[in-house]
Structure 1
Amino acid sequence: MTKILLVCIARHLGDVAPQLFGALRRMVEYTLQTPGYKQDTIDFIVLTEQPRDKEGKRLAGNQAIRWNMKKVRPHALKHYHYILRMDSDMIPPPHALVTLIKTSVKHNAPIVTSLTPERPAKCGTDQFSQLMNWNENEPKEKIISSIKQLKPFVCTGNAGVGFMLMTSAALKKIKWARLKDDFGFWNEVHKLDIKVVCTPRVVCAHKEHRPAIVRGEKWIVEHWRKVILRNLAAHRNWYHGFPYKWWHGHSVETFLVMLPLHLNQVKEPKWFTYQGNKNESLKML
């Protein structure tokens, strides 16, 4: 019998997307009805502790996440074979847990993540986070090919912690240093030579909470301008890799002018209805 702990981290219970609870219920029901998983034990916990620094100020979001993961780690190591760590704005499909575990076993990968689209309000695109240049997963063309074929691929950079399965063996090695951000966490994982795989068969929705832009408009426009220059230097269409609705019908100049208008759009992702059908294409690629 396999024991699995689902861990959601939020500032408070009300910060958890309501759709997440329904999605997790369907995921647990699916798992316990799947042959080979019917005897599994699945527990769920929401961690909301907001630690403070020496001056009494609340720690930033990433630091609070590390704090909570470090606190739950001894309990998870003692009682569970797997830990599924998720953000409060993730909405997984019903088959997510079974698929992540099967991928972990088949590919001998102690850490497996889902595909997660970026939030347009955060960084101006709904492209998968694993494909964003700043996350440094290479080679990018091979990853795109793997996604189109629904084949798991190894992540060499930031694989995304939004919906991530870890074996107890991986959790035992990782100390969850409190002051590290996502990039620091993944640097630690790769230094420990822990294999990380992302499976395109699990696509989570990334719920929009508010229209705040984390990456500023100037940064985003400059980022896409550089992508255009790289595409031209590689003798590709200037819009290679861009969201279709953004570039279609525009020249380079009008695209850059129109780009800021996309940044505040709140877009409800539809990925959570995706069931991993091998014959179904992923339209964003």
Structure 2
Amino acid sequence: MKPVRKAVFPVAGLGTRFLPATKAFAKEMLPIVDRPLIQYAVDEAREAGIEQMIFVTGRGKSALDDYFDIAYELETTMRARGKSLEPLAATRLPPGALASVRQQEPLGLGHAVWCARDFVGDEPFAVILPDDLMVGTPGCLRQMVDAYERVGGNIICVQEVPREKTASYGIVTPGALDGALTEVRGLVEKPRPEEAPSTLAVVGRYILQPEIMRVLDNPTTGAGGEIQLTDAMAAMIGTQPFHGLTVDAVRYDCGDKAGFITANIALALARDDIGPSVRAFLADLD
């Protein structure tokens, strides 16, 4: 069983739900307290042993590559002023650890993952959606890698959602249970509540075998007229082991304005340096 060494980050989205802030600004650079969303995602990947980050980008997303590059002028100025470079340490990736490829058209998540096929090659790989901020110890992907090393195949992160919200997710047809692992017998993209096979939803973390790229070589359009990753995964069920893992983590949907604000408050409250001030402000609102 090959180790999971690579992770694909689909970051080509236009961020229209956050306009006008994202008109000239990658949504993945929106900060949660003092770190952008993409930093949380990359930190989670590194904790899980990922060695190469593959960004699937679009036009106007060069800031993502720049963020993980050396900032020569900034660092020189900070040194000259006697300031510590420690806040920048996590933004430095080793040479060769970051690769980028363009998704030239917004054709769906399945198409975005397929754009990374040459970098993935014949290895299993992770997919991380930075909009889904997962907070847990160990990190969400670390938990998934641990499960993968036990059962192999394909692992998707799943969480229970209210039935009225199934039309916003890929939904699992569940099989046998093994602790936090659920056998995946089927997947349906964005079913209506009355047609959903369960309320177990796929959220933004995946470990997939490279054979999924062969499925995506001959795609069909699904929900929303897009090439859906869920449909490609569904085509592989029965040919390889497939499990959903309910992780011990809190999910914040930072592609949604309310979720983004909630994440900022929650992570600020958890910090020793600013938590007391934020807590006092919230108390004054009552």
Choose between structure 1 and 2: higher strand proportion.
Answer: 2
TM-score, normalising length: structure 2:
0.49
